[in-house]
Amino acid sequence: MARPVSPSRSSLALDNLRAAVILIVLAFHSVMAYVEWAPLRSSGFSNPPYDWHVFPIVDAHRWFGFDIFCAWQDVYLMSLMFFLSGLFVWPSLQRKRPLAYARDRLTRLGIPFAFGVIVLIPFAIYPSYLATTADPNVSDYVQRYLALPFLPNGHLWFLWQLLALDLLAAGISLIAPNVLRSLGRWSVKAGQRPEFYFAALVAVSAAAYIPLALTFTPWAWRNSGFLALQWCRPLLYGVYFFAGMGIGIAGIDGGLIAADGALPRRWNRWLALAIVSFVVWMGVTYFTLDGRAPITIEIASDLLFVIACASGCFFFVATSLRFGAKHTRILANLSDNAYSLYLVHYDFFVWAQYALLASTLFAVIKGAIVFGATLILSCLTVWIAQRIPLGSLLVAAPPRKADVTA
């Protein structure tokens, strides 16, 4: 007789962490219109530097607390998402084999990416056009949109970069699988000493990030063609993706992310390091914003970014392992649908921010309303999409049945 499989404590903690991460992503985007460092007004829909690709809506109501929140998320959040994405790559590669895995990833990531940039993103940024155009109409918007020198990706840049890393992993697995197995063995040994693993992660991340950050600045994006790219970070994200993959090769219940290991026991130390490194990074980075800082200050800022990124990731993983190894229905549902929620949420927060532009409410209240509306409407959209033919191919996975074993 079939019986439910009881997930391990590490698995439960990571599921809950995935749920927390998608909530943070929604919150991050929901308050972007209300940060102090947003431009006072948009440069216009058709005019460089196309501020709306970062700030789709610019609201006059601001709160500096949102600046701190968004800055911290910008430091570690996407690296953590690539790390979590890499954790389960190896088991999938072993189960499906490299070529089948690559085909699956092309379907699961490539088709939603194409659908998103063709359908979801044009609808999402229409409010940006409405907010910056004196006499807007749909025909004029379509003409201006098609005349842009790039295809807006919005938040979907994450999909194509993750797809590229998945295909790279499949290629390595096909050609040189022992390289990945060696990474897994090293991850087991290093993971037993979190401080050593942290130092190694910082060193490799610094080598991947600092040269690009010095060359292109930490802020520059490539917005031409059909793929959006933040010049300084692709290699950094690759480091975190393969770090997660190495841990996944060894098994998530042992090594660094063991629920009873050293990492969760010392979660408070990682919290302290995350806060201190983030605050110091902000202080040093302030002196680089005018573009005239000495090279030593720029290097220090970039190194502190790498440290703050790694410590932020370690803190969230450690805290989840320490306190989040429990099953809750709400978090389990959010975790199961995290990818789908990421795909569809962009439209809702932009339209909600636009709807509140004329309101005199405080920025904190606006941010809370936008977040609540985005979460509810995104969940509703995913629920509907799961029940429409082809919906699972575009924006939503079908409802997941409980795992069973004989």
Domain-by-domain residue ranges, the chain?
Answer: 3-42+55-405
Tokens linked to 331: 């978090």
Give the pLDDT band of residue 44 (cuts 50, 70, 90): confident
* Burial class, 179, CB count within 10 angstroms (exposed 0-12 / middle 13-18 / buried 19+): exposed
- For residue 239, pLDDT over 60 is answered with yes
Stronger pLDDT, 389 or 115, i.e. the higher one: 115
**In this predicted structure, what is the pLDDT of residue 406?**
29
Higher-scoring residue by pLDDT: 13, 39? 13
pLDDT of residue 145: 96
What confidence tens digit (pLDDT) does each residue in 84-107 have? 999 999 999 999 999 999 999 999
Whether the per-residue pLDDT at 405 is higher than 80: the answer is: no
Q: For the whole model, what pTM was predicted?
A: 0.94
Residue whose tokens read 């940039």: 117
Q: Please state, as a whole number, how many other Cβ atoms lie within 10 Å of the Cβ of residue 327.
A: 11
* 203 has a pLDDT exceeding 90: yes
* Lowest-confidence pick of 17-26, 287-296, 394-403: 394-403
Q: What is the pLDDT of residue 83?
A: 98
The answer to whether 274 and 314 have CB atoms below 8 angstroms apart is yes
Residue 1's pLDDT is 37
Tell me what percent of the residues of the chain surpass a pLDDT of 70.
96
* Distance separating alpha carbons of residues 225 and 252, to the nearest angstrom: 39
User: What is the rounded distance in angstroms from the CA atom of residue 336 to the CA atom of residue 244?
Assistant: 19
263 close to 318: Cβ distance less than 8 angstroms = yes
- In this structure, the number of other CB atoms found within 10 A of the CB of residue 56 comes to 26
Neighbouring-strand partners of residue 222? 229
pLDDT at res. 178: 94
pLDDT > 90? residue 223: no
What confidence tens digit (pLDDT) does each residue in 342-396 have? 999 999 999 999 999 999 999 999 999 999 999 999 999 999 998 887 777 777 6
Q: What number is the average pLDDT over the span 229-253?
A: 94
Q: Would you tell me how many other CB atoms lie within 10 Å of the CB of residue 67?
A: 17
Per-residue pLDDT, 98: 94
Q: Is residue 105 classed as helix, strand or coil in its secondary structure?
A: helix
Residue 403: what pLDDT? 39
- pLDDT band with cut points at 50, 70 and 90 for residue 40: confident
What's the pLDDT band for 222 if we cut at 50, 70, 90? confident
In angstroms, the CA 158 to CA 177 distance is: 26
The residue-averaged pLDDT of 163-177 equals: 96
Residue 398's pLDDT is 60
Between 84 and 399, residue with greater pLDDT: 84
Q: What is the predicted pLDDT for the residue at 400?
A: 55
Q: Is the pLDDT of residue 197 over 70?
A: yes
What type of residue sits at position 21? V
What is d(CA 40, CA 61) in angstroms, rounded to the nearest whole number?
Answer: 10
49 cis-preceded (ω within 30 degrees of 0): yes
Compute the average pLDDT of residues 55-78.
96
Alpha helices in 88-156 (DSSP H): 89-96, 98-105, 111-115, 121-124, 126-132, 138-147
Q: Is the pLDDT of residue 199 over 90?
A: yes
pLDDT band at 5 (very low <50, low <70, confident <90, very high): low
Instruction: Enumerate the β-bridge partners of residue 230.
Output: 221
φ, ψ of residue 381 in degrees (nearest 5): -65, -45
What pLDDT is recorded for position 58? 94
Average pLDDT taken over every residue of the chain? 92
| Share above pLDDT 90 across residues of the chain, in percent, rounded to a whole number | 80
Q: How far apart are CA 309 and CA 73, in angstroms?
A: 9
- For 49, other C-beta atoms within 10 Å of its C-beta total 11
Per-residue pLDDT at 4: 47
